[in-house]
Structure 1
Amino acid sequence: MDKRRSTSDFVYDEMKNKIVQLEYEPNERLVEDVLASAFEVSRTPLRQAIARLEIEKLVIRKRNGRIYVASLSIEEAIEIYKVREVLEGLVAKEATLNMTPDILAKLEDTLSLIDRAYEEDRNADAIKYGFEFHHLLYKPSNNPTAVHFLNQIKNRIERYRQIGESKQFRYLHHLPNKEHYELFNLIKEGDENKVEAEMRVHIRRSLETTIDSLKDLV
């Protein structure tokens, strides 16, 4: 464990990653004794970590006190992506108005990293760099409230992405970085309204892929 992190932070990060990566499956029961033994920690930091995961809606506590990994559903995916669509569109629009040459250069570099990852069949890296492209727009948006709410749902979005991983790859290869390039060109042109519209279309297409993946599972 990194000594710079508290025990509670360590357990939280480990549990969050296992939930997001689906090592802890949706609806799986989480038993405190088992978790405390696995992480070699006492109950207090474990319960602190679980409380944080409850706030993020990654775990749920039943009336009988038992803890379960939150379920996945098409209905929840639609709710989350609708919120993401509005917020990402707003952030992209406002980032365009405050764009700098430095951020533009970083966006362009990230597009190159995505292209290279595809060429080398590193699909996971391509998706990771895709998220980085979006995150580069957060700071210049000068909208910490929108960014805060996006960060609040980030881990829940990641769970759905993991569920649809294979189909997500097909979606991405069908439009290999094309949508990000379209966004980048609109940002360079300074057309904030078109940027917002294009970003919202981009998020809706991602939702369609997620729903398609979930239909076989829920």
Structure 2
Amino acid sequence: MKEVPQDGTRQGKGSGARFVYDTLKHEILSLTLAPGIPLDETSLAERFALSRSPVREALVRLSAEGLVVMLSNRSTLVAPIDVAGFPRYVEALDFLQRINTRLAAQNRTEDDLAEMQDAARAFDRSTAKNDYLAMSATNRDFHMAIAKAGRNPYLARCYGQLLDEGRRILHMHFDFLRASTSDRLLGSEHADMIAAIRDRDIARADTLAHAHTRQFHDRFVKFLSASYMGDFDFDLSTLGSNGA
């Protein structure tokens, strides 16, 4: 089925690539397009009723964000989620989360604090609606509001890329957190971080940012463990009962 903008208007120059980019990014981050599946330019061009040029432009942009992988034979895949590389990912995320939060505590303005509060409330609203894609997006917005307050665009840009890569991981284990009897999705972490930044308490902001990363790491490891055990759930007591 061919897709067109919902308002039915004709797409101007460059808007076709933007529409393809927005649609595919949404589908990748929500795991509608599974990690590792191929993305064929011809099929996508037919789907969106466009030439291959805007489709390729969209794929190049997604590749720059680490969401697709463009191979040497000109084929394209949705980027795999590198579970084996997760510890290195968290290591980089922790560094950038801490330095951006420290800088925010040092450089923030009242307008920055208001933007953080708005982003935190948006996250809470998406959580109440159980909207996983909105939850991962508003979580990113909250942390990028902190990075903006830090006044270092280079660190903020790198941080934003890592947060985007982590959105699929967040989406994967939201159900696990919802079903958990011991883990809450989020306590007062966002509010505590805002308070430390408001007080210009750099040491506490750093401590909270590190704890936030550690919580993300620990929860994802628990999710992987629970998923593994769920895949191999059988009654061990039946083994050997036939005399084997």
User: Which bracket does the TM-score occupy, shorter chain normalised?
Assistant: 0.7 to 0.9
Match of 1:202 in 2: 212
Match of 2:130 in 1: 123
More helix by share: 1
**Deviation at 1:173?**
6.1
Match of 1:95 in 2: 104
- Taking structure 1 as the reference length, what is the TM-score of the superposition? 0.84
Q: Which amino acid aligns with 2:28?
A: I
Aligned partners of 1:61, 1:148: CA distance in 2, in Å? 22
Aligned partners of 1:127, 1:153: CA distance in 2, in Å? 13
The question of whether the paired residues in 2 share the 8 Å contact of 1:73 and 1:214 is answered with no
Which structure has the larger Rg over C-alpha atoms? Answer: 2
**Deviation at 1:181?**
2.3
**Deviation at 1:110?**
4.5
How many aligned residue pairs are there?
A: 216
* CA 214–41 in structure 1, closer or farther in 2 if over 3 Å, else same: farther
Q: Which amino acid aligns with 1:182?
A: D
Q: Which amino acid aligns with 1:33?
A: T
**Deviation at 1:177?**
3.0
Aligned partners of 2:138, 2:36: CA distance in 1, in Å? 30
Counting only pairs closer than 5 Å after superposition, residues 69-218 of structure 1 correspond to structure 2 as 69-112=78-121, 114=123, 121-124=128-131, 128-169=137-178, 174=184, 176-215=186-225, 216=227
What do the CA deviations read for 1:97-151 (whole angstroms, capped 9, x no partner)?
1122233344345545555666xx3233565544333222122201000111122
Q: Which runs of 5+ in 2 are unaligned?
A: 6-10, 232-244
**Deviation at 1:176?**
3.9
- Would you say 1:6 and 2:15 are equivalent positions? yes
Aligned partners of 2:222, 2:165: CA distance in 1, in Å? 17
- Would you say 1:57 and 2:66 are equivalent positions? yes
The question of whether the paired residues in 1 share the 8 Å contact of 2:144 and 2:160 is answered with no
Aligned partners of 2:162, 2:123: CA distance in 1, in Å? 24
* CA 165–148 in structure 1, closer or farther in 2 if over 3 Å, else same: same
**Deviation at 1:208?**
1.9
Q: Which amino acid aligns with 2:93?
A: R
Aligned partners of 1:110, 1:53: CA distance in 2, in Å? 25
Aligned partners of 1:170, 1:143: CA distance in 2, in Å? 38
Q: CA RMSD in A?
A: 2.8
- Taking structure 2 as the reference length, what is the TM-score of the superposition? 0.76
The DSSP-based 3-state class of the residue aligned with 1:60 is strand
The DSSP-based 3-state class of the residue aligned with 2:32 is coil
Aligned partners of 2:70, 2:222: CA distance in 1, in Å? 29
Aligned partners of 1:112, 1:49: CA distance in 2, in Å? 32
Kindly indicate whether structure 1 or structure 2 has the higher relative contact order, using CA contacts under 8 Å at least 6 residues apart: 1
Aligned partners of 1:127, 1:54: CA distance in 2, in Å? 20
Match of 2:242 in 1: none
**Deviation at 1:43?**
1.0
Aligned partners of 1:51, 1:74: CA distance in 2, in Å? 24
The question of whether the paired residues in 1 share the 8 Å contact of 2:119 and 2:145 is answered with no
